[in-house]
Amino acid sequence: MCDCIKKTEEKFKEMYPDAENISYQNVEMLSQRVYSTVEIKLPNKKKPIERLVLHSYCPICGKKYDDD
């Protein structure tokens, strides 16, 4: 598995040394995979439906996530 999330967080820490917290919002905690949120608006619903799409490949470097 790649370590793009860790590398990117380190770069942000360099850019913003005074930051109290830097964290990814769309990371599944157990597998450490990045996911996207898809919002679906239906005509008969007031509130949109949200579905999560767990990526098979890292969106930063393009490497395939391990199947572990």
Total number of domains constituting the chain: 1
For residue 55, give its domain range: 1-17+24-68
Predicted local distance difference test score (pLDDT) of residue 5: 82
Query: Which two tokens mark 65?
Result: 């996530």
Predicted local distance difference test score (pLDDT) of residue 41: 93
Predicted local distance difference test score (pLDDT) of residue 59: 85
Length of the chain, in residues: 68
Predicted local distance difference test score (pLDDT) of residue 43: 92
Low-confidence ranges of the chain (pLDDT < 70): 1, 67-68
